[in-house]
Amino acid sequence: MRIVVVEDEALIAGRIVRLTRELLGARVSSLCVKPTLESATAYLADNPIDLLILDLNLNGRDGFELLQQAVAGAFHTLIISANTHRAIEAFEHGVLDFVPKPFDAARLQKAFDRYERADEAGSSPLKYLAVRRKNTLRLLDVGEVLYIQGAGIYSEIHLRNGTVELHDKPLHRLLDILPPAFVRVHKSYLVSIAEVEQLLSHGSSKYELRLRSGALLPVSRERYKELKQTLGL
């Protein structure tokens, strides 16, 4: 597991590092500390990671600047912060957990357990997905997403207005953080159930979904029965 801790207080950063190594042991393959938004941003631009542990107050700078970039990254994020009034906002950006300061080993263990069971994080009230456009980020309202198509290590997000945005997270990573209304209907497709108009069977184990937009998407044989139950058919 490749982990980056973004924390400007050296004592707290050292404690996070120590407890992380104690709790995760050999699962940690790399762990480094970045004390500023600038150093963290530069590191994330050049190094793939699995988990970001982020404080929201960094030398007076707002950690949400980095969190918006993290939403577009192919990794998960845990917040450790005294700014508990911002917890809901953080969850809306897709973080796996918000650990209030001060914290102990037991609370940090719960956060790591949630990382290990990332499929359970789909219950978080994510409201935005961030996509990169050159040197900028655009936040997409999850409510505007019709379906998401896998594109290798990326995902294509299809929106109500007919546009398609490319996201840095692969399909299974997005499924980890999206609301439960999004279900996997095929190895290459996630769909918002609210957008489904009809489930079609063409015989010979060929199935499709027709969305309210008119789009037709394939449904795998393995997902067909489960989808029928979800739709109440």
CATH number at residue 156: 2.40.50.1020
Residue among 42, 132, 124 nearest 90 (CA)? 124
Local confidence pLDDT in tens for the 233 residues of the chain: 999 999 999 999 999 999 999 999 999 999 999 999 999 989 988 898 989 999 998 888 888 888 877 766 668 889 999 988 888 788 778 788 899 999 999 999 999 988 887 644 444 557 778 787 776 667 788 889 999 999 988 999 999 999 999 988 888 888 877 888 899 999 999 999 889 999 998 877 789 999 999 999 999 988 888 888 888 76
CA–CA dist 231, 99 (Å, integer)? 36
CA dist., res. 66 & res. 54, Å (int): 9
Say whether both 117 and 156 belong to one domain: no
Q: pLDDT tens digit string along 23-68?
A: 999 999 999 999 999 999 899 888 989 899 999 988 888 888 888 7
- 134 residue type, one letter: K
Assign 231 to helix, strand or coil: helix
| Domain range for 200 | 128-231
Let me know whether 91 and 181 are in one domain.
no
User: Which residue, 123, 145, 168, sits at the end of a domain?
Assistant: 123
Same domain assignment for residues 7 and 100:
yes
Q: Give residue-wise pLDDT tens across range 57-70.
A: 888 888 888 887 77
Do 106 and 16 lie in one domain? The reply is: yes
